[in-house]
Amino acid sequence: MTRNARLAMAQTVRVVGWYDGMRATAICPGAIDTDLIAGIPGTATTAERLQPETVADLVAFLLSLPDQANVPEVIANTRLESPI
């Protein structure tokens, strides 16, 4: 799913479910060090990839926040990437 699609989906959930207590955060990580991208030419090297535990910690942190600390988007990269 593209970053823009994640943002649109999260924003829709936030708007539709706000008064029912639903919150949504679009998490847009860079390359994650999993078997899914291992060996794909042109992907980040293992040293440049986020560790799955790092992403899990990020999700746990977001879930621990109170409703008043609504976070619409999180971008997590291990290297400089183009904003567009």
Q: Is the pLDDT of residue 19 over 70?
A: yes
pLDDT of residue 45: 75
* pLDDT range class, residue 83, cuts 50, 70, 90: low
The residue ranking higher by pLDDT, 68 or 26, is 26
Q: Which domain holds residue 46?
A: 3-76
Give tens-digit pLDDT for 33-56.
888 888 788 777 777 888 999 999
The residue ranking higher by pLDDT, 19 or 80, is 19
Measured distance CA(25)–CA(17) in Å, rounded = 13
- What is the tally of structural domains in the chain? 1
Question: Phi and psi at residue 9, in whole multiples of 5°?
Answer: -65, -45
Torsion of CA 66, 4, 12, 53, to 10 degrees: -30
Tokens found for residue 25: 């955060």
- Buried b / exposed e along 37-57 (16+ C-beta atoms within 10 A): eeeeeeebeeeebbeeeebee
